Amino acid sequence: MSNSEVHEIFRDIEERFKHRTLKSAEHNARAKHRLPGGDTRTATFYKPYPAYMVRGKGCYLYDADGNEYIDMLNNYTSLIHGHAHPKVMQAVRDQLESGSVFGSATEIQYFHAEHLCARVPSLDLVRYNNSGTEATMFVMRAARAFSGKDMFIKMDGGYHGSHDFIEVNVFPRQASQPGAEGLPLPVVEAGAPKSVLNDMLVVPFNDLDAVEILLKKYEGKIAGVILEPILGASGMVTPQPDYLKSLRELTDRYGALLIFDEVITFRISTGGMQKDQGVTPDLTAMGKIIGGGFPVGAFGGRKGIMDVFDPNRPNALFHSGTFNGSDVMMAAGLATLELYDQGAVDRINALGAKLRNGIEAAFKKEGIRGQSTGLGSLAQIHWRSGKITNAMDSAEGFSRAGDLPRFLHLELMNRGFYSAPRGMLAISTAMDEQIIDKFFEAFAGALDLLKPYVVEQAPHLLVP
């Protein structure tokens, strides 16, 4: 097959997408007049333009043209029960009858907090805000206030939202720009002040030696180590055995706090990745599923640390926000958490294992090097073989895959499945084995369609 014939496959995929989404194209053209590029959330943008969704029910989404999709993304993992779960919606309606937010303390705030603290091992006390970004920002502020230190260690490729101090090495850097001791060179993303680099250090995920090098070099200056227990946006990279336990030991030995960002990984068990792995951090940031589909963030930890926010204390840290602990969010979140019991966790985690295994089986059948990482109800498609232990391993596969990730995403949409453009997938309790089987059929068909491109443009992905 010639190069022109291979690229004709891509043109066909894109043209079929455009033909299915004519009204979305109209929406996008209008949106560009008032939104930069027609966009207000970078993660939801993809070319040629995003499909405009108008309705969701259970595990299904419907776009402006009436196309139906099985939602394999669930608002980037936040909708653990899918769309418009009846019990969650009833809790919201009941609360709306009384009001949405009051600018006052309300009992549902401590109801939610009691439930959350009972589930998550690290939580003695918790405070609420409106996003995962805010949660990681304030969890770092709490660590600084408590420890009297300013510096943090984060993971290369680790994503913790979009506040300035965490906008360092959001994209992995260690291979192309090594810094001191061969570690990743801290690089601030565009728009954040370079001054944050004075207090941010970067290590590869799963590299304990790198953490100890910096803890030793800057002993007495590091407030904490912050990480997602599974690297989310950088490819659902899972921790090596005992990695998290060893981080706990290292931070204790050198007097730094251990901070888990469980915005995504809370769903792994009834009490997050920390409960699943038996590792209790000092502080935890949360979001997504704990808000039941509404904007939410939360952070908490040991009483001695969280007491820095107690307004009864002299010089307490000020933490406020117009919609912190809003009653509608609390009602939706509490209903969601009550539904997400051990049985629900076990069921969707089993579906997640089936999903990952099926993706790898499809790659093998087509003779293409590929795999799926993740844990529990989370999965990520990778265009590479070999171990993936850090963000650079993940990024290398994508950089060498050319246009494959983009057109796999579009072709899955053409076949009625909605996923993240980067290949991330998340199971909801609205799904069952039949849904996963349907995905396998669509995924296998998409791989078969794309294989000529692999042969011509990415032969390194062919299994000999």
How far lies 182's CA from each of 136, 173, 185, 188, 215, in Å? 27, 11, 8, 18, 15
Structural contact between residues 441 and 70, judged by C-beta atoms closer than 8 angstroms: no
Strands 257-261 and 283-287: parallel
Cα(52)–Cα(225) distance, rounded to whole angstroms?
Answer: 39
Query: Of 49, 69, 128, 159, which one is the catalytic site residue?
Result: 159
52 is catalytic: no
Looking up tokens 């029910």 gives 57
Cα(458)–Cα(453) distance, rounded to whole angstroms?
Answer: 7
Residue 436: CA atoms inside 13 Å, Cβ hemisphere, count?
26
Structural contact between residues 157 and 392, judged by C-beta atoms closer than 8 angstroms: yes
Structure tokens belonging to residue 306: 């969280």
Query: Of 149, 154, 275, 288, which one is the catalytic site residue?
Result: 288
| Residues contacting residue 87 through CB under 8 Å, at least 6 positions apart | 335, 339
Strands 378-382 and 371-373: antiparallel
159 is catalytic: yes
Cα(31)–Cα(36) distance, rounded to whole angstroms?
Answer: 8
Query: Of 63, 71, 199, 261, which one is the catalytic site residue?
Result: 261
Name which of 127, 109, 216, 234 is nearest 172 in CA terms: 234
Cα angle 47-49-54, degrees, rounded to a multiple of 5? 135
| Residues contacting residue 242 through CB under 8 Å, at least 6 positions apart | none
Amino acid at 270: T
Q: Which residues participate in catalysis according to the annotation?
A: 159, 261, 288
